A = this chain, B = another copy of it.
Amino acid sequence: MTNFNLSCPIPLEQYPQVLLAHGGGGKLMQQLLEKMFFPAFKTTHNIPPHDSAVLSLNTNKIAFTTDSYVIHPLFFPGGDIGSLAINGTVNDLAMSGARPLYLSVGFILEEGLPMETLWRVVQSLQKAAQIAEVQIITGDTKVVDHGKGDGIFINTAGVGIVEHNQVIAPQSVQPGDAILISGDLGRHGIAIMAVREGLEFETAIESDCAPLSTLVLEMLDAGVEIHCLRDLTRGGLASALNEIATGAGVTLKVQETAIPVAEDVQGACEILGFDPLYVANEGRLVAFIPQNSVSRALEILRSHHQQASIIGQVTGTGTGMGLVTLESRIGASRILDMLSGEQLPRIC
């Protein structure tokens, strides 16, 4: 393991802030790459820096994805833009049942960003990549004028290998499938909003930001049949269920009482006027599992998080248009629609 919390490798008395020239392709950019990025993101491949990284995989079936991260604030309880940028993209790969292997990192920095802040984020990227067992293999740095960005934006793209023959996607969802979630909901969104609004709770609510790849690969290794996976990011559980119902053309029914939400998160949602079913998570997934695999899947999910639960099932093909209904605490049934407006901007 690499040492963290090292002092910034760029001399801060000389360059306390990021300058436009740090993205200009000249000497200052070269210094940033050679002193900060290359040592931090050193890979076991030892690929010399070049325009693209050439990789030999042990299979020719890959998963490929990308996400940009514009979260505000950059640092929050339970994570920061660096760990989020690794875990978010790792999780998108994991949702295809892929083994995440390689990530790219593209920075868009705002002129005037404290160099120390960049260094903290770089260390966080490095640490999160180690934990998720992925390598940062290629990257890019741009700097925009002060007032034309917001500190740091990060894009990560990811490549993973697919070592199974299941089609893990909405079109595989079948009537009868159980709907499982991997833990309690709403931590990430509420952690961010609490910081933004300056709210204090008895105990700080921490983001659930974490890689989900181990959990998915364990299910696949155990022979669990998986029809569909989705991580519950922007738009939360409600949006994920609606997207899958629409993609699969099926009707889903979920029980509100079966959906775990921690008491402090529930309380914060009430104060802030949010519905936890729409709040973003960064370390939770929903899984569509045929009945013959449910008990094994739940056992594995619970070994990672005690509150993993079966929350409902696919009830039919309905009109083929996709519909999600929620059975509430008092037994009434209502349609759980997609979010129409904007609940939490810049949550990821």
Contacts and interface: CB of A to CB of B under 8 A. Distances in A.
Contact of A142 (B53, B59, B68, B138): B68
B148 A150 contact: yes
A225 to B, nearest CB: 17
B107 A68 contact: yes
A67 to B, nearest CB: 5
Nearest to A58: B60
Given A104-B66, A234-B25, A95 B342 contact: no
A24 B236 CA distance: 11
A325 interface: no
A186 interface: no
Nearest to A63: B52
Given A49-B247, A96-B51, A343 B26 contact: yes
A42 interface: no
A338 interface: yes
Given A108-B108, A147-B147, A339-B24, A140 B67 contact: yes
Interface string A76-99: 000000000000000111011010
Interface residues of A, number: 89
A88 to B, nearest CB: 9
A52 B150 contact: no
Contacts of A48: 169-171, 247
Given A68-B140, A145-B346, 4 more contacts: A52-B93, A55-B64, A106-B155, A148-B150
Interface of A: 19-21, 23-30, 48-70, 91-93, 95-96, 98, 102, 104-108, 137-140, 142-145, 147-150, 153, 155, 157-160, 162, 169-171, 229-231, 233-236, 239, 243, 247, 280, 338-346, 348
